[in-house]
Amino acid sequence: MIRWIAFDADDTLWENEKYYHDGQALLAQLLAPYQPAEVVEAELLKTETSNLSWYGYGIKAFGLSMIETAIRLSDGAIGSPEIDALIRHLRSMLEQPADLLPGVLETLQLIHNGYRMMVITKGDLLDQERKLANSHLEDFFEAYEVVSDKHDNIYARILKRHNIQPKEFLMVGNSLRSDVLPVVKIGGFGVHIPHRFTWAHEVVADTSSHVDGYVQIDSIKELPAILETLKHQ
Amino acid sequence: MIRWIAFDADDTLWENEKYYHDGQALLAQLLAPYQPAEVVEAELLKTETSNLSWYGYGIKAFGLSMIETAIRLSDGAIGSPEIDALIRHLRSMLEQPADLLPGVLETLQLIHNGYRMMVITKGDLLDQERKLANSHLEDFFEAYEVVSDKHDNIYARILKRHNIQPKEFLMVGNSLRSDVLPVVKIGGFGVHIPHRFTWAHEVVADTSSHVDGYVQIDSIKELPAILETLKHQ
């Protein structure tokens, strides 16, 4: 019986990745004299991935990786006005309001009386806190966990802290890799809601071999029906 | 009766600010053709302070503020090799081992049987987690709280989560502003251990008007004696 529902935040509750896409488009534009856009895209991903274990997730890491990529791909020829433009874009990303995805507010209103709810999200601590405050969703959640990564042992630690059995726990998110598979691995239930933008780092190439224990839905609006089905299992 | 002891991490358990000083020295050197070092120092602090509410604390925020300051103070004349040098310094900061301050290990060994202990620290989540792991102090602490700021309401939330009464709570740290005064404000006890480097942002200009409820010591080695005194109050 599900007692706790946890939600991923970025691209599950509110828009996020689209602002990263805009940043990538700006970088490609600034680097157009040096490299074609597809090289810029591939090299940015390479830089982000290689910086991940040092910078972690979030907007500041993205900004530093953009600057590093700009310098490398232009062989040091890019000027500081261009780097300044990247920093200003970064700042504009931080200033974005929390733009709720369709159906989020209605769904939370529908289900919050029947379940305890929390958010589990990666990214910059302050930025995630600001987005939660801006979202006006704060009152729905008993806990707001900003984590450095979403491995199964990190989920296990959160469940332990809140005294939750895995079979009572359901996690909703747009990333199969981060939100669903590690939760399934520890014995929880996953609900995968793909977002039209998913960062390449989060894409799982082959899911056919993965175990059961999760469903995929097109919109968060289908979540109440899933919860009803689970009640009768 | 004190039951819980919380420690700040950076410049309380291990060195931190000295690596920021090195970064500042590098920035002053790169900007020497444009501005004297004291202007660089003042302008960097101004940039960091103005970015604080967007970037939060930590090394990535520092790096982005250094780059922004370099571009502004050189009026866009600084080249990408110099910015690249700043990024490389940033990376070297993240790669620093957790260099324990004198007396830390012995003191924790002395007191850990009598108290429950936790760490409360600001900064980049992943970086703080890495430093704790590198420090080999992990087993002393029941909780490791990385927070976006150290206001009294944030301390109150942590105490509530761990079911701690303020009068049972003692916080040890190098910043009067972040580690001591907000804890005193909520009814806890503070132990201030000044560090030879303290970031200007953390310096409180006038403490004479502040209430009692804390002591200042020169080294963490004096902490066991303080705890003994408090037992008899």
Here the ipTM equals 0.89
Residue type, A124: D
Which pLDDT band, with edges at 50, 70 and 90, does A209 fall under? very low
In this complex, is the C-beta atom of A41 within 8 Å of any C-beta atom belonging to chain B?
Answer: no
Find how far residue B40's CA is from the centre of its chain: 22
Partners of residue A6 on adjacent β-strands: A118, A171
Per-residue pLDDT reduced to its tens digit, A35-81:
999 999 999 999 999 999 999 999 999 999 999 999 999 999 999 99
Interface of B with A in 138-167 (CB under 8 A): 146-149
- pLDDT tens, B159-208? 999 999 999 999 999 999 999 999 999 999 999 999 876 666 666 655 44
Buried b (16+ CB within 10 A) or exposed e, A206-215: eeeeeeeebb
Q: Which residue of B has its CA nearest to A63?
A: B64
Chain B residue numbers touching A147 (CB-CB < 8 A): 125
What is the average pLDDT across A115-138?
95
| Residue type for position A182 | P
With 80 as the cut, is the pLDDT of residue A204 above it?
A: no
Distance from the Cα of B198 to chain A's closest Cα (Å) equals 22
Residues of B in contact with A145 (CB under 8 A): none
**Cα angle: A43, vertex A44, A48; to 5 degrees:** 120
Count of CB atoms within 10 A of residue A19's CB? 20
Q: How far apart are the CA of A34 and the nearest CA of chain B, in angstroms? A: 15
Yes or no, beta carbons of B125 and A125 under 8 Å apart: yes
Question: Nearest residue on chain B to A130, judged by CA atoms?
Answer: B54
pLDDT tens-digit series, residues B64-120: 999 999 999 999 999 999 999 999 999 999 999 999 999 999 999 999 999 999 999
Distance CA A40, CA A59 (A): 18
pLDDT > 50? residue A210:
no
Q: What are phi and psi of A103, to 5 degrees?
A: 90, -10
Distance (Å, whole) CA B130 – CA B133: 5
Going from the C-alpha of A232 to that of each of A2, A192, A228, B122, B212, the distances in angstroms are: 11, 20, 7, 45, 59
Give, rounded to a whole angstrom, the gap between the first and last alpha carbons of chain B. 8
What residue in A sits closest to B81 (Cα-Cα)? A76
**Adjacent-strand bridge partners of A4:** A116, A169
- Tell me the C-alpha distance between A217 and B57, whole Å: 38
pLDDT at A200 over 80: no
**What residue type is assigned to position B34 of the chain?**
Y
Query: Which of chain A's residues have a Cβ under 8 Å away from the Cβ of B56?
Result: 124-127
B124 interface with A at CB cutoff 8 Å: yes
Give bridge partners of residue A147 from the DSSP assignment: A122
Beta pairing partners, B121 = B146
pTM: 0.90
| Residue A114 near chain B (CB below 8 Å) | no
Among chain B residues, the shortest Cα distance to A74 is held by B80
Calculate how close chain B gets to A98, using CA atoms only, in Å: 15
Taking the C-alpha atoms of A7, A9, A12 and A18 in order, what is their torsion angle to the nearest 10 degrees?
A: -170
Give me Rg for the CA atoms of chain A.
19
Tell which B residues from 61 to 100 touch A, by Cβ distance under 8 Å: 61, 63-64, 67-68, 70-71, 74, 76-81, 83-84, 87, 90-91, 94-95
Angstroms from B119 CA to nearest CA on chain A: 16
- Which domains occur in chain B, in start order? 4-15+98-231 (3.40.50.1000), 17-94 (1.10.150.240)
Distance from CA of B86 to the nearest CA of A (A): 10
Q: How far is CA A106 from CA A98, A102, B43, B229, in A?
A: 16, 9, 47, 56
Confidence of residue A201 (pLDDT cuts 50, 70, 90): low
Looking at residue A67, its amino acid is I
